[in-house]
Amino acid sequence: MSQPLIGTAYQEALKALAEQVARAYREDCCSFHVSAGLIQGNTMIAVTATFDATGTECWVPLALGGDPWTDERRVRIEHDARAVISQRLSIEEGVAYIVRQYMRGVLDGYR
């Protein structure tokens, strides 16, 4: 069953990127950096998160829209992506802690 949309295409793209990064983070558990740039003959934006240790790359496309591509726009998109990803990974770490605690209790029952 698919998740309901949370809003605009921009919000959905950032959410999708955060989900990709969370999956990769569970596997790679290392730092990453975010970048945004033009692709497809300068007709679309790619927002990319690349893991430093493994080179694993997660990315989503965004429509260029009517706004011009500027350094300010790139910086804003990268900032927004980092903020969404950071919150998603914070949740991921909290869930991992809860699962660890629960599994410790389950395994303690088999001593």
Q: What is the mean pLDDT of residues 62-79?
A: 94
Phi and psi angles of residue 31, each rounded to the nearest 5 degrees, phi first:
-75, 165
Total-model pTM: 0.72
Confidence bin at 2 (pLDDT 50/70/90): low
Q: Average pLDDT for residues 73-87, to the nearest whole number?
A: 95
The band of 5, judged by pLDDT with boundaries at 50, 70 and 90, is: low
d(CA 29, CA 56): 11
3-state helix, strand, coil in the chain (%, to 5): 50, 20, 25
Q: What tokens does 67 get?
A: 């706004």
